[in-house]
Amino acid sequence: MSKSLILALSLLTTTLSVSSALASSGSHWGYEGKMGPANWAQLTPENGACAGKNQSPINLTGFIESDLKAIDFSYRAGGNEILNNGHTVQVNYAKGSSMKIDNIQFNLLQFHFHAPSENHIMGKSYPLEAHFVHADKEGNLAVVALMFEEGKENSALAGAWSQMPAHAGDKSVMKTTADANKILPASKDYYRFNGSLTTPPCSEGVRWFVMKEAVSASKEQIHAFEKVMHHGNNRPIQATNARPLLK
């Protein structure tokens, strides 16, 4: 088997793994009761990492001053499918959008939402948080997190919100292609830490980039997402342990 084919299969496997963790309605886990976050690590051997020492989300505080390099975002309109998997509402992204950091290109796979926010910034919780999930050619993962504050309506979300699937398992082709670049804030300054996926299998080794600047979403937009989810879909804050948090 050629090296290029091995890499392609590796990326496909990782993409499917991320999709399974963040988009599969068949995953037997949830946010409440016996299937809730406190028991994720015990639900199946594949979820063992949920009991790890470098888990997400966290409360971002106690920062170390660092010369963080700018993220080179190369996003274009590409959100072509929206789905409700019972755990979140997710917009799947076509190939062609990426970000570059550490001299590595990470391709945008999808973005999805949590309410209330999973990460906190200096103890503050936000009513809504978006995660933009990326993978490089070797399958390494990077997540850009964006906080929303209640305020004016967010026009960049309008297309996705107008097609938000009401029931778990529903999905549809986007009528208007979503543009992740328009969702991001004007300032691209960020906090950085190493963590994990915030849903089973809670895989570690994920690069996290949390935007410092929040954007707005209206009360109606936030409520519409909460109504579709029927419950909070945020994993509780995890211990930071010895991880450095950079700003």
> Could you give the 3-state DSSP secondary structure of residue 181?
helix
Residue ranges of E strands in the chain? 59-60, 72-74, 79-84, 89-93, 98-101, 104-114, 120-121, 128-135, 141-150, 171-178, 190-196, 204-211, 215-217
In which residue are the tokens 């963040």 written? 22
Gap between the Cα atoms of 21 and 243, Å rounded = 24
Question: In whole angstroms, what is the distance from residue 49 CA to residue 181 CA?
Answer: 32
Omega of the bond leading into 165 within 30 degrees of 0 (cis):
no
Is 87 one of the catalytic residues? yes
Q: Of 66, 93, 83, 103, which is closest to residue 167 (Cα–Cα)?
A: 83
> Annotated catalytic residue: which of 87, 120, 131, 134?
87
Question: Which residues have a catalytic role annotated?
Answer: 87
